[in-house]
Amino acid sequence: MSKNYTSLVEINAALQQGDVTVEALVNGYLAQIEQFSHLNAFNEVFGDEAIARAKAVDAKLQAGTAGKLAGMVIAIKDNICYKGHQVSASSKILEGFTSIFSSTIVERLLAEDAVIIGRTNCDEFAMGGANENSYYGPVKNFADNTRVSGGSSGGSAVAVQAGMCHAAIGTDTGGSVRQPAAFCGAIGLKPTYGRISRHGIIAYASSFDQVGPITHSVSDAALLLDVMAGPDDYDSTTIQSPYIPQGDVIPAKGTKKIAYLQEALDSPGTDAEVKQMLTDNIAKLKAEGHAVEPVSFQYLDYLVPTYYILATAEASSNLARYDGVHYGYRSPNATDLQSTYKLSRSEGFGKEVKRRIMLGTFVLSAGYYDAYYAKAQKVRRLIQDKTNEILQQYDFIMVPTAPEPAFAIGMEEKDPVVSYLHDIFTVQASLAGVPAISLPAGNNSKGLPLGLQLLTKQFAEKELLEFSDYFLKLTTN
């Protein structure tokens, strides 16, 4: 592409001055997608359709009737339904399945004249933190092709990182927008649970799943939140009170009280350069007059076990519908109903998805329900209460997004629990249902991006975005 635009504000200025057209933008992104196809970020590119839509948006701009997102070319994760387009959640079991309706968020994005350029690769059914569990193969990090992109929204993050689209939409269950954004040097926002409709999003764990944008600028994250958020009659878990738009993001003024988790600095599992990044940013904020204080979070070691017990239980229930009867993959070797169920599911699901279904079925089974699932629900409440207690005293909680930068592709852990521990700093916001954002925090000595995460109170996205904008201006100047 001739120019890398970091925000829609820049694109709008270029469109008004006649320096570029939406069609030219789309053609530039399509060239990038072709050039970097080895990164495996896209499962499908809607090339001709995106060009046709871009021409229509250009005509609207000429007529002065274009929507808020005119000029924004976005990619959507392959678990988001778009009428007349395939959606597979990167799983063999949904290979070739075409959606008969659009998700609420796709309808809202298109209504404001966004151009959707394609569907991005992800961990199968959004289960994973490395984008190595996809039926279509791993997504490679643009900063270092031997490294993972992060997951599960790895394709969305790399598409933004490598300039294959302007912004992308992912889903965040336990960190699946924030962690890949951190690994790819982008901004990843997980809004308050229920802020954005889940209607038309292929479910993984329904009490955690939340849609979020991956962008280069805070203003774009705020704008996409404004377009996608709000009540939806098709999703009873959305927040029913009317959504008040964020509007223009004005960098936060005045000093703030910020807590950081002492355990994040003390943990032997946190990479030395990640600890140094956190320490440096604490010093920068203190120098600006902010109160930055350590707090103890005694439930840190319980975050990952609690999350995985509850998420796998919900996955076991949600994925029961993929049975080889209604839609999707059906085993050619099946001979009767029972073998249809058994073979279609065992052949159609990947290893990690089967592992999580079995874990979830186990914790919900008679004799183990009270010992695992019911206990995990109680611990979730303790985590939520403690998080809210800290946020009553502080404006934000600050932690690294991930305990280490992007790790090598194929670093298959013999013990899957070790790979689950990569989620240690992201699952807190998911369990508590609070908004969180991952912000780019420079690179380590090997040139790999690092991410810093901020959590705040439920429904306080505006304050979170405004402080994020201030923080990025402070740390990147």
Q: Does an H or E element contain 304, and which?
A: helix 300-318
Distance CA 215, CA 45 (A): 19
Out of 7, 152, 219, 316, pick the active-site residue.
152
Instruction: Assess contact for 229 and 242: CB atoms under 8 A.
Output: no
Q: Which of 316, 319, 313, 308 is nearest to 417 (CA)?
A: 308
Dihedrals phi, psi of 270, to nearest 5 degrees? -90, 125
Strand pairing category for 449-455 and 396-400: antiparallel
Dihedrals phi, psi of 277, to nearest 5 degrees? -60, -45
Give the DSSP letter of residue 244: -
> 54: exposed, middle or buried (C-beta count within 10 Å: 0-12, 13-18, 19+)?
buried
Instruction: Assess contact for 299 and 425: CB atoms under 8 A.
Output: no
Distance CA 360, CA 355 (A): 9
Query: Sign (positive/negative) of CA torsion 39, 143, 212, 55?
Result: negative
Give the count of alpha carbons within 13 A of 320, CB side only.
8
Residue 77 annotated as catalytic = yes
Distance CA 328, CA 132 (A): 22
Q: Extract the tokens encoding 96.
A: 């070739």
b/e burial code for range 81-96 (CB count within 10 A of at least 16 → b): bbeebebbbbbbbbee
Cβ contacts of 222 within 8 Å, gap of 6 or more: 246, 247, 249, 461, 465
b/e burial code for range 277-287 (CB count within 10 A of at least 16 → b): bbeebbeebee
Instruction: Assess contact for 71 and 19: CB atoms under 8 A.
Output: no
Instruction: Assess contact for 234 and 228: CB atoms under 8 A.
Output: no
Out of 156, 176, 316, 419, pick the active-site residue.
176
Catalytic amino acids?
77, 152, 176
